[in-house]
Amino acid sequence: FFSLDEISCSKTHRRSIMPTVGQFSASDTAVYDALVAGGVAERPAREKVVLFAEAAAVLEKNGVPADAPAKGFFVPGRVEVLGKHTDYAGGRSLLMAVSKSFCVVTVDRDDDKCRFFSTHADDQVTLTMGPDVKPILGHWTNYPATAVKRMSTNFAEGGLLGVDMSIACDIPVASGLSTSSAIFCGVWLALNARNAFDRRAAFTTNITSPEDLMEYLGCNENGQNFKGLVGDKGVGTFGGSEDHTAIMSCTAGNLHLYSYCPTQREDVLAFPADLVFVIGVSGSIAEKTGDKMKDYNDAAMLAKEAARAYVSGAKREVSPPHLANVVKDAGGDAEAVRRGIKAHFSGGGEALFSEEALIRRFDQFFAESEEIIPQFVAALKGGDTTKMSALVDRSQELTDSHLNNQVPETVFLAKSAREVGAIAASAFGAGFGGSVWACVPSDRAEAFKAEWQARYVKEYPKAGEKSEFFVDIPGPGAFELWGPPKTA
């Protein structure tokens, strides 16, 4: 049994009086208190107070009265500790939320219009909720507009009410920390808070657990149907729901282990208090548009084609036919899967990619999801940092050799982090740029960060100008500040 508030994943912190736009813009100390109560660490909480103030100031600048009642939402980015390109194939990933985030301030409207503002853009966009929303490809509102269109179409029965929504953000652009998925999560929180979508029949019929909601949000982004909730174009990527899962579910101080298709929580692991993560944002932009979108989608298509080839060659019925189910069908025998793929080609079967490419993609998936992640979880629980190091090294090597989604900057970051003394280090996210995490003892974090960054900037001075390095620990997932109390 799940309460509606559990399903909507709205961790809320009660306040007797609704805050106003002016309280946000004045950096009211209550904003800091609410963030800390939600699990945000003290240093990043102070930084978020500034972002909330900036977001509120944009609303005031655009005519929203300072005394207008307002809501605030903290929506973090995420780090995929392990689980490279596994989620859409039904595999596992190990996740954490980071302190870098969107800070969103909304004011309720009495019509069906949504106005979007950003502290990083001079323009605003006004949308009429419903199926006729037309997202503008390449514009900063493409993602929120896509979210509004899907959500207001799926949950239109009962009427639609809009919001004025101002967004501030300190997640580095195209860093692999999942700004795109965070936008979908933020729009969900804002529109659900205004419309109570989670109490409508279309929601309760199709979404019966927190994991269902996370998977639904992933379908908002990739455009797929979710049960009876009909999909749309999405934003053009063929990703899964890993990012939305991390953003909506993670808790402070913990790593979360999930598997997918369907989304299922497998474990929650306390992260050692004497360790921290240092995140190195390469400055090599990890875009998911244009040619990079094709490269990103090819990784998904390779996984899909590898599963299809096995089903054909082994003459098996696997439903749904993704790689995790293929592994289960083969009894966990990787060689049996390889034989099935080979039999598809030797029997005259066709595929969008070569036999070698499909086997290589399967090998990476199997190693990451079936071997590396379970063994890393056991090593983390047992405090075996030597084993953890070796497993992450293997994951990073396979990313470079089998997924082929690394760039020289991220390869250097992972390698140099280990040389500087990181217990483990790995690239994460879609690839083709982005960031690398390094795990280090907390008492060495600042010294490590300085040396790691200096080496990188020296090796890649141009990318280094756009790079960013910060120390972090696993943080909380998205929540509404001072939201309504939970109900059973």
Quote the distance between the C-alpha of residue 449 and its chain's center. 24
pLDDT digits (tens, 9 = 90+) for 451-473: 999 999 999 999 999 999 999 99
Quote the distance between the C-alpha of residue 235 and its chain's center. 15
CA distance 92 to 264: 9
Could you tell me the pTM of the whole model? Answer: 0.94
∠ Cα 335 339 340 (to 5°): 120
In terms of DSSP bridges, do strands 435-441 and 479-481 run parallel, antiparallel, or are they unpaired? Answer: unpaired
The answer on pLDDT for 263 being more than 90 is yes
Residue 435: name the closest of 453, 451, 462 by CA: 453
Residue 479: name the closest of 42, 25, 149, 48 by CA: 48
The answer on pLDDT for 433 being more than 90 is no
- For 60, the 3-state DSSP assignment is helix
pLDDT digits (tens, 9 = 90+) for 61-110: 999 999 999 999 999 999 999 999 999 999 999 999 999 999 999 999 99
Structure tokens at 428: 């994460």
For 228, counting Cβ atoms within 10 Å of its Cβ (0-12 exposed, 13-18 middle, 19+ buried), the class is exposed
- Going by C-beta distance under 8 Å and a sequence separation of 6 or more, which residues neighbour residue 358? 302, 305, 306, 309, 341, 351
The answer on pLDDT for 288 being more than 70 is no
Segment holding 276, helix H or strand E: strand 275-281
DSSP states of 421-481 as a string? T-SEEEEESS-SS-EEEEEEEGGGHHHHHHHHHHHHHHH-HHHHTT-EEEEE--B---EEE
| Amino acid making up residue 416 | S
CA distance 2 to 5: 8
The answer on pLDDT for 287 being more than 70 is no
* Structural contact between residues 469 and 449, judged by C-beta atoms closer than 8 angstroms: yes
Residues pairing with 257 in the sheet: 94, 267
pLDDT digits (tens, 9 = 90+) for 113-159: 999 999 999 889 999 999 999 998 889 999 999 999 999 999 999 99
377-387 in b/e form (b: 16+ CB < 10 A) is bebbeeeebee
pLDDT at 138: 86
Structure tokens at 274: 């004497």
For 195, counting Cβ atoms within 10 Å of its Cβ (0-12 exposed, 13-18 middle, 19+ buried), the class is buried
| Amino acid making up residue 242 | E
Total residues found in the chain within this entry: 488
Residue 100: name the closest of 124, 76, 121 by CA: 76
pLDDT at 286: 55
* Structural contact between residues 49 and 88, judged by C-beta atoms closer than 8 angstroms: no
DSSP states of 144-160 as a string? HHHHHHHHHHHT-TT--
Structure tokens at 17: 């009086």
The answer on pLDDT for 16 being more than 50 is no
Instruction: Number of helices (H) and strands (E) in the chain: give both, helices first.
Output: 18, 13
Percent of the chain with pLDDT over 90: 86
- Which DSSP category does 368 fall into? I
pLDDT digits (tens, 9 = 90+) for 355-392: 999 999 999 999 999 999 999 999 999 999 999 999 99
CA distance 267 to 90: 16
pLDDT at 3: 44
* Structural contact between residues 82 and 94, judged by C-beta atoms closer than 8 angstroms: yes
Q: Which pLDDT band, with edges at 50, 70 and 90, does 424 fall under?
A: very high
Residue 417: name the closest of 386, 433, 396 by CA: 396
Q: Quickly count: other Cβ atoms within 10 Å of residue 290's Cβ.
A: 9
Structure tokens at 235: 């934003």
CA distance 295 to 277: 28
pLDDT at 309: 98
Q: Which pLDDT band, with edges at 50, 70 and 90, does 28 fall under?
A: confident
